[in-house]
Each structure stands twice: as C-alpha cells, then as structure tokens.
C-alpha cells in the first residue's frame, strides 16, 4: 500500500460515483486542492477524512486503504445481530469482541 495506490483508488471511486473533484471535496469537507494532492499520492489524510471519504462513496475504510473488500453479507449479518442488543449492553458486546480478536479465532 502506497499513498499513490490509495489516491488512485479514491480517484476511481470518486469518478465511478460521478462526483466532480469540487463536488466530492465539498461533500467530504476538504478543499479541491487537498483532494487533488491526495489523489496524486502527494498527501496523506486523517482518519476522520478517511471515514468521510468512505461514507461518501459507500465503501469500507479497508477498501480505500488496502484495496480489499469486506464481505458485505457477513457485515450485514453482524450489524443485524448487533442491532438486537440494547444500548446499555453494547459496552459488554464490545469487550467480548475485543477478547475474541485477541484469541485470533
């Protein structure tokens, strides 16, 4: 993964969603010049900007950064299950997920 690869992915996503550079920059909350620098691989960007970009083009942050797509069916199933928990249970759910991740299951 290089900044240039990430920038190219962002440009392709922007174009495939029929955004102009100016329109997309406005939607994401950055300047068109900064977006150009990102797309050319000359500048990095914050996690906040990454999230805004990924939401604007409806892809995961992983896809933007690594070029790998998350299986959307699996994600939909997980989100569906999580929505079944009450807000006060979410802290425990998060802790359990962190423990599972540490186990590398």
CA distances from 58 to 7, 10, 89 (A): 16, 12, 28
Question: Residue 72 above 70 pLDDT?
Answer: no
Q: What percent of the chain has pLDDT over 70?
A: 94
Residues 34-55 pLDDT 10s: 999 999 999 999 999 999 999 9
Query: 3-66 falls under which CATH superfamily?
Result: lambda repressor-like DNA-binding domains (1.10.260.40)
Per-chain mean pLDDT for the chain? 90
Question: Residue 70 above 70 pLDDT?
Answer: no
Domain ranges of the chain: 3-66, 72-103
Question: Residue 73 above 80 pLDDT?
Answer: no
Question: Residue 28 above 60 pLDDT?
Answer: yes
Residue the block writes with tokens 């010049």: 33
Q: Which tokens belong to 63?
A: 């896809």
Q: Which residues contact 57 (CB under 8 A, 6 or more apart)?
A: 13, 14, 16, 17
CA distances from 60 to 1, 12, 100 (A): 16, 15, 22
């Amino acid at each position: 993964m290089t900044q240039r690869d990430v920038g190219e992915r962002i440009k392709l996503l922007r174009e495939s969603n029929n955004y102009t550079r100016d329109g997309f920059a406005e939607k994401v909350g950055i300047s068109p010049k900064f977006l150009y620098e990102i797309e050319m691989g000359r500048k990095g960007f914050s996690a906040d900007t990454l999230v805004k970009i990924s939401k604007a083009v409806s892809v995961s942050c992983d896809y933007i950064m690594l070029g790998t797509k998350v299986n959307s069916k699996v994600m939909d199933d997980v989100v569906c299950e999580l929505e079944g928990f009450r807000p006060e249970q979410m802290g425990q759910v998060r802790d359990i997920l962190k423990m599972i991740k540490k186990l590398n299951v």
